[in-house]
Amino acid sequence: MTPSIGIDAIALAVPQGYIELSELAEARGVPPGKYVEGLGVRRMAVAQRWEDPVALAANAARRLFATSGQDPSRVGLCVVGTETAVDHSKPIAAWLHRLLGLPQRARVYESKHACFGGTAGLLTALDWIASGSAGGRTALVVCTDIARYELRSAGEPTQGAGAVALLVSERPRLLALDPSVSGSYSKDVDDFWRPLHRKEALVDGHHSVQCYLDALEGAYGAWKEANAAGDLHAPLARRCYHVPYGKMARKAHRHARQLDGLSEPEADATFAAEVAPSLALPAEVGNVYTGSLYFALASLLHAEAAKLEGARVGLFSYGSGCTAEFFAGRVASGAGALVKSLALDAPLEGRRRYGVAEYEAIRAADAEADPSFAGVRPPTRPGEVAFAGIENGRRIYL
Ligand code: CAA
């Protein structure tokens, strides 16, 4: 019998500071209700130039090993999902290899498909373990991103930053994923993209919302067929969606539950129980692109793991461009106690609140493609990795 495979531990990393979106709304001359109720966003993490996607990824992964009791020397596969890579050739996974002390006998690389890159890594890790290639080793999947749109654009309040590290193993202690019951959907669309020379993404905002919903319909339909064929009848007690902003998850859930045959009011009535607990942590950091779905999962487990032991959770991952997957897993017995010891929300404690002028200055200081500030020691928290600029063409991490 194939052993269960899935997510054994999770850890998060976020930048040191954030901006309150009601304050940004006032500065932009927009009613705060549009951001807070209309988009369902509250705070947005703002990355300083030393908090780049490599540093965020390393900090999430270091925290993963420190809190989970797992050993980096047992990792045989490390995949980093990102759509804000720092180099066109060298993957973030290569820096992680050194910064985490991963074994030389490991496969490490980066995966890109907009916000889907981390899910691609997770599904590959499952297959790698299920195939027997892992030989008892674990896989490390890290989702790391800094979501940037032009200042004063419609996308501005839906930015964010952070990283999520997932340890994938046999007999996982958090979430055993349903093997081979998955629904995929792909289509070539122009909803969101970032040309190579740009730090800020370009987006056809309203079209992107429709593309997301179409992809959800396709992937969810495929999952339901696979689920029925697999004879897995246990209902989904909770659902986590990709969260570019809170309202999108609400729209997604309404659509999915209507596809289940519920009327709009009936579908909306299930939101508070089935989805809301997964949106608390995303509301603190904003969009983390590849990491957003897994911030939602961390939020759900942080709030309800003990109550959900044995229950099924559905997961929807969407990557613009586009590709999507609906899949599910079962919360492991003992997950409640483990989640307590992982202290998933600890990285959000003690953050600084930036004002709008400070946020704009941080963005201006981080506008250069290849910043060179070597010699200046970044003011990081103790034990954290920081990007220390470019020296002799090479990125320096302290
Ligand atoms: N009080 C309360 N609500 C208000 C309000 C007020 N004063 N004023 C407006 N609203 C409501 C509107 O009614 C609307 O609600 P509904 O969506 O329920 O109709 C909501 O606020 C947003 O209003 P608009 O549609 O007018 O907002 P906008 O045109 O300024 O932009 C956006 C919204 C298109 C999402 C924009 O923020 C954007 O482009 N974001 C980036 C793209 C994105 O996140 N797309 C998501 C799908 S793609 C994806 O998921 C990949 C990814 O990570 C990027």
Q: Is the pLDDT of residue 41 over 70?
A: yes
Structure confidence at residue 381 as a pLDDT band (50, 70, 90): confident
The answer for residues whose C-beta is within 8 angstroms of residue 112's C-beta and 6 or more apart is 81, 82, 83, 85
**How far is the C-alpha of 99 from the C-alpha of 397, rounded, in Å?**
9
The pLDDT value given to residue 204:
97
Q: Is the pLDDT of residue 277 over 60?
A: yes
Alpha-helical runs (H) found in 78-158:
92-100, 117-130
Summarize pLDDT for 293-335 with one digit per residue, the tens. 999 999 999 999 999 999 999 999 999 999 999 999 999 999 9
Whether ligand 1 lies within 6 angstroms of the CB of 209 is answered as: yes
Q: Is the pLDDT of residue 342 over 60?
A: yes
> Is residue 77 packed enough to be buried (19+ CB in 10 Å), middle (13-18) or exposed (0-12)?
buried
Structure confidence at residue 371 as a pLDDT band (50, 70, 90): confident
Check if 78 is active-site. Answer: no
Maximum distance among all Cα pairs of the chain, rounded to whole angstroms: 61
For residue 23, what is the enclosing H or E element? Answer: helix 21-27
Summarize pLDDT for 252-270 with one digit per residue, the tens. 999 999 999 999 999 999 9
**Ligand 1: which of 21, 22, 39, 271 to mutate, most ligand atoms within 8 Å of CB?**
39
Question: How large is the average pLDDT for residues 178-193?
Answer: 94
Active-site option among 20, 83, 200, 284: 83
Q: What is the pTM of this model?
A: 0.98
The answer for residues whose C-beta is within 8 angstroms of residue 378's C-beta and 6 or more apart is 48, 50, 386, 387, 388, 398
CB 331 within 8 A of CB 175: yes
**How far is the C-alpha of 386 from the C-alpha of 67, rounded, in Å?**
20
Q: Is the pLDDT of residue 286 over 60?
A: yes
Active-site option among 242, 274, 322, 384: 242
Ligand 1 atom 34, closest CA:
205
Question: How large is the average pLDDT for residues 234-249?
Answer: 97
The pLDDT value given to residue 379:
82
Active-site option among 78, 115, 211, 240: 115
The pLDDT value given to residue 68:
97
The pLDDT value given to residue 2:
59
Of residues 122 and 390, the one with the higher pLDDT is: 122
The dihedral through the CA atoms of 255, 113, 387, 147 has a sign that is negative
Whether ligand 1 lies within 6 angstroms of the CB of 223 is answered as: no
Structure confidence at residue 375 as a pLDDT band (50, 70, 90): low
Whether ligand 1 lies within 6 angstroms of the CB of 37 is answered as: yes
Q: Is the pLDDT of residue 85 over 70?
A: yes
What letters, b where the CB count within 10 A reaches 16 and e where it falls short, cover 2-15?
eebbbbbbbbbbbb
Question: How large is the average pLDDT for residues 148-167?
Answer: 98
**How far is the C-alpha of 242 from the C-alpha of 248, rounded, in Å?**
8
Check if 115 is active-site. Answer: yes
The pLDDT value given to residue 369:
74
pLDDT above 90 as % of the chain: 90
**Ligand 1: which of 21, 193, 204, 208 to mutate, most ligand atoms within 8 Å of CB?**
208
pLDDT above 70 as % of the chain: 98
Ligand 1 atom 39, closest CA:
205
Q: Is the pLDDT of residue 290 over 80?
A: yes
Summarize pLDDT for 105-140 with one digit per residue, the tens. 999 999 999 999 999 999 999 999 999 999 999 999
Q: Is the pLDDT of residue 388 over 80?
A: yes
Ligand 1 atom 51, closest CA:
320
Check if 242 is active-site. Answer: yes
Question: How large is the average pLDDT for residues 26-50?
Answer: 97
Q: Which two tokens stand for residue 319?
A: 């990557």
